[in-house]
Amino acid sequence: MTDLYRVLPDEMDELVKTLRQPRYRADQLLQALYRESPKDVSSMRQLPSDMRDNLSAVGYAVGSASEVHRVVSEDGNTTKLLLKLTDGTLVETVLMQYRSGGKEHPRSTVCVSTQVGCAMGCTFCATGQMGFERNLKAEEIVAQVLCFASILRERGEHVTNLVFMGMGEPLANYTETIRAVRILTHARAFGLGQRHITISTVGVMQGIDKLAEEDLQVGLAISLHAPNDKLRKKLVPTAGPNSVGDLIAATRSYFKKTGRRVTLEYAMIGGVNDSPEVAAELAALLKGNGAHVNLIPVNQTAGGFERPKWKRITEFERILKESDVSCTVRVEKGSEISAACGQLRTDMAKNF
């Protein structure tokens, strides 16, 4: 069976044509898929019954994921879903909402997964420590967004932003990730603006180069975590011998080709990479680079690493800013429900 959420709008036009239906049926089908959250093909009543029957007969279905568990943070602004895919695989995805006075709708960011587990092995990341199970298909990535879109629709709200920062390395699942991005940003499909999407990578160089050539206006976030190769290798075991230099060069190249400033993610780990000396080394490395540094105090995971003291975090930030390095400290959401950066790990929920 082929999930209709895998089909790009141009491909949908061809599908409708093969079913001997007028072209406008493709738009009706897309409207139903992305605005009404149908449970199956038979429930799309705006389509004639013979078309629905034919879609099923030739092997098309709806729905790559179903919700099996939901956890909401105490403030109600972070929601984590455990989803079961059609083959029984479990995957986690997170909704983070940011409310500001006077605005009717909150900024609603969905953090999606692109793999079950991860092969990158980052020592401070729960997903990295659970190992790699498989890549997700484009329709399984899209399904995560649509699950939250349906929840938000009931509140009169909508998805505003999307970050590929959940389970897995997006650029190690490049083809399916990009297909999902094109579906989610196509005006006839989900219709999210490209500039509202950020793809995060631990540093898959070939993927970064390919992404720069895609003619997409998505943001790129690169997980740096250290100013030198020796320290980075301890945190990211899969890092190459010149990974820091390669990644810094990649930020310049990506900006030159796309005009989009790169964000460098830096997980701050108490007693490991949070000292003033390391901050000074990082500042010297990035001075004049133009990238933005996102400082992320590490979250509690099975790895046993500790979050730095707040004084240490602010001192690190001060050193960077005094060298004219643009940086902010990320405001974490959902850590109390294990929904924050680096905390997604489905092998903790196999009883669902």
123: three-class secondary structure by DSSP: coil
| Cβ–Cβ < 8 Å for 92, 148 | no
Stretch (H or E) spanning 13: helix 9-18
- Residue 189's alpha-carbon distances to 149, 164, 185, 192, in angstroms, are 13, 19, 7, 9
Alpha helices in 75-173 (DSSP H): 126-129, 138-154
Which residue has tokens 């001060």?
318
The question of whether 118 is a catalytic residue gets the answer no
137: three-class secondary structure by DSSP: coil
Q: Is the dihedral of CA 4, 210, 217, 203 positive or negative?
A: positive
Instruction: Indicate the Cα dihedral angle 111, 342, 334, 225, nearest 10°.
Output: -100
Identified catalytic residue from 92, 139, 169, 176: 92
Which of 328, 334, 333 has the alpha carbon at shortest distance from 268? 328
Which residue has tokens 């491909």?
11
| Cβ–Cβ < 8 Å for 319, 279 | yes
Residue 272, token pair as written in the block = 């490991």
- Residue 171's alpha-carbon distances to 76, 132, 222, 344, in angstroms, are 31, 14, 11, 18
Alpha helices in 110-191 (DSSP H): 126-129, 138-154, 174-185
Identified catalytic residue from 118, 125, 147, 341: 341
The question of whether 176 is a catalytic residue gets the answer no
Name residues whose C-beta falls within 8 Å of residue 324's C-beta, 6 or more positions apart in sequence.
287, 288
Interhelix angle 24-35/9-18, rounded to 10 degrees, is: 130
> How far is 22 from 83, CA to CA, in rounded Å?
35
Question: Looking at the annotation, which residues are catalytic?
Answer: 92, 341
